[in-house]
Amino acid sequence: MAREFTSVGVVGLGTMGAGIVEVFARNGIDVVAVEISAAAVERGRATLTGSTDRAVAKGKLAEADRDALLARIDWQVGLDALHSVDLVIEAVPEHLDLKQRIFAELDRVCKPEAILATNTSSLSVTEISVATTRPNQVIGIHFFNPAPVMKLVEVVRTVVTSADVVADVEALCARLGKVDVTISDRAGFIANALLFGYLNHAVGLFESRYATREDIDAAMKLGCGLPMGPLALMDLIGLDTAYEILDTMYRRGGRDRRHAPVPLIKQMVTAGLLGRKSGRGFYTYERPGSPVVVPDEHTPVSTGAALADGARAIAKVGVVGSGTMATGIIEVFAKAGYEVISVTRGAEKSAKVCEAVKTSLNKGVVRGKLSEDDRDAALGRVTWSATLDHLADVDLVVEAVVEELSVKKALFASLDEICKPGVVLATTTSSLPVIDVAMATQRPADVIGLHFFNPAPIMPLVEIVRTIRTSAETAATARAVCAGLGKTGVVCGDRSGFIVNALLFPYLNDAVKMLEASYSTADDIDHAMKLGCGYPMGPFELLDVVGLDVSLAIQRELYLELREPGFAPAPLLEHLVTAGYLGRKSGRGFRDHTKR
């Protein structure tokens, strides 16, 4: 039987500590809440009171339950108040020497059978535990912020943590209504090890001026369904905190360059640009601590005449291709009022594309998202063709053929001969260099990447990829077209992966390496990222949906272009692809889908 915890102590009453106090008190457990001074205690009390009052105002907590919750908390100054608790959780700033001093004192103060836990998100639980005479009773209990809301808890055992202590803490997490993942003591654990490599990479894209802060954040929110963009999330976490976590993971985790803090982070910390808490980080906020972003000198002018400035008029669009992406793009343009010429490699393929577009539009009518008149009007705008010559008078061509460079180059050479001067020639490639396609023509200034996401009628994002030869007029036209389609266009340079894939696939690759090292299971890693970071899918769920072969191909492209050792495809991913385990489409990937 797991032990019954009747009273717990929480040391440190900042945002995280106060949240942990609330979690225990909400679940009927008496809490001794400890800080270093009376003023700090009052700040912690105010944080918790504000949280519970908001819960009452939103109807998520009854007033009587709030009052009972507050009555369970004993606010105290000094560690001596923890002499009789069953469990202590430390939630002070991420400094090893500070935590070691606190644990040495807790070892002296607390009763012999008490469990001592740290909420550290990156430091070594083992190094903290050796400051005590009871390292077998020391464990990591890593809550996520905000603790009352976030369901995940990482339970971190050291090589000497007692199995009984682990079992007792796992049972406690269940009592608190949390989902726990139990892991060994490794830099960053699961969530931070995967999250902060991605965040650091995003800062690197911004530092190199590859894309604006707004476009990087919009790309990851709209392209991947993430709750926040990476730079806005860095501001929420605090750049000083992020720097400490990255630096610790770099030093403790084998000096992986993916975790070496991008120099800009340290520069911003030194300049006092810490994020929301200081009122300015990557964005500027209404005041310190406010979540409200206000315009600053870097805020782009985004709408109206400024967006269309220099753009060419587009009325007729050609779409080349017969696959799922081409079909979706035809529908998008036709519904937005553009005249569309669909070109495929034969009448049979044209008939299939036409049928697919009709089926999709009919689904829109059935679901009430499209009227019958609008459906008929959209279909009436499409001309079906099997010859490129019919593109002679279009204003824009969007290519959506197979992802083979030789095929695309041959197509663009033909379009160069057929299309009138001034036509924008766009490729939907997701991984190939746009400049290679552009240089197959005599008009590289008119060539641009328009990377739609699948399914194109639903996904709101388009990556607008400029080469070093793309003209400002062509880029302005692409932005105006995206706006006319009701899409969000994000502008980036012609580099492997663009924004979304460049940030997404190294993160997925890191997850595979974590599984490969037997650090955790696919289920626990997926739980950690969904429950701890709010991701809509865990990395292994997503890999099986995307296709392991597709993921491997993209990761290889990133590695070949950037030559970053941390981007080398995980051997496990290569082995699974070789074995024919490609994900859902083959029935098996990281999971067996034939039994579901």
Per DSSP, the residues of 578-592 read HTT--BGGGTBSSSB
Active site residue 385: no
The confidence score (pLDDT) of residue 102 equals 97
| Whether residue 210 has pLDDT greater than 80 | yes
Q: Residues 415-424: what's their mean pLDDT?
A: 95
Q: Is 424 helix (H, G, I), strand (E, B) or coil?
A: strand
The confidence score (pLDDT) of residue 306 equals 45
The confidence score (pLDDT) of residue 305 equals 44
**Sign of the four-CA dihedral 203, 205, 207, 212:** negative
Residue 227 CB: number of other CB atoms within 10 A?
A: 12
Active site residue 142: yes
| Whether residue 595 has pLDDT greater than 80 | no
| Active-site residue, selected from the candidate residues 142, 201, 451, 527 | 142
Q: Residues 61-81: what's their mean pLDDT?
A: 94
Q: Which residues pair with 89 in a beta bridge?
A: 10, 117
| Active-site residue, selected from the candidate residues 119, 121, 350, 509 | 121
Q: What is the pLDDT of residues 330-345, one digit of tens each?
A: 999 999 999 999 999 9
| Whether residue 35 has pLDDT greater than 50 | yes
| Whether residue 444 has pLDDT greater than 70 | yes
Q: What is the pLDDT of residues 288-305, one digit of tens each?
A: 988 899 999 988 876 544
| Active-site residue, selected from the candidate residues 22, 35, 154, 557 | 154
Q: Give the total residue count for the chain.
A: 596
pTM: 0.88
Contact (Cβ atoms closer than 8 angstroms) between residue 225 and residue 536: yes
Going by C-alpha positions, the residue among 263, 140, 134, 131 that lies closest to residue 192 is 140
Band (pLDDT 50/70/90 cuts) for residue 243 is very high
Q: What is the pLDDT of residues 104-140, one digit of tens each?
A: 999 999 999 999 999 998 889 999 999 999 999 999 9
Alpha-carbon separation of residue 464 from 219, 443, 467, 477 (angstroms): 11, 18, 10, 10
Q: Is 341 helix (H, G, I), strand (E, B) or coil?
A: strand
Query: 518-525: long-range contacts (C-beta < 8 A, 24 or more apart)?
Result: 519/183, 519/184, 519/186, 519/190, 520/181, 520/183, 520/190, 522/590, 522/591, 524/181, 524/182, 524/183, 524/190, 525/190, 525/194
Contact (Cβ atoms closer than 8 angstroms) between residue 554 and residue 567: no
Distance CA 433, CA 408 (A): 11
Query: Which of 233-247, 299-313, 538-552, 561-575 has the least mean pLDDT?
Result: 299-313
The confidence score (pLDDT) of residue 40 equals 95
Contact (Cβ atoms closer than 8 angstroms) between residue 230 and residue 503: yes
The pairing of beta strand 447-452 with beta strand 461-466: antiparallel
Average pLDDT, the chain: 92
- C-alpha 465 chain-centroid distance: 21
The confidence score (pLDDT) of residue 434 equals 95
Band (pLDDT 50/70/90 cuts) for residue 482 is very high
- At 94, give phi and psi (nearest 5°): -80, 70
Q: What is the pLDDT of residues 75-111, one digit of tens each?
A: 999 999 999 999 999 999 888 999 999 999 999 999 9
User: Which helix (H) or strand (E) segment is 131 a member of?
Assistant: none
Active site residue 154: yes
**Sign of the four-CA dihedral 15, 17, 23, 25:** negative
| Active-site residue, selected from the candidate residues 122, 124, 192, 586 | 192
Q: What is the pLDDT of residues 145-196, one digit of tens each?
A: 889 989 999 999 999 999 999 999 999 999 999 999 999 998 788 998 899 9
The confidence score (pLDDT) of residue 596 equals 64
The confidence score (pLDDT) of residue 126 equals 95
SS (H, E, C) 241-253: HHHHHHHHHHHHC
Q: What is the pLDDT of residues 558-576, one digit of tens each?
A: 898 888 888 899 999 999 9
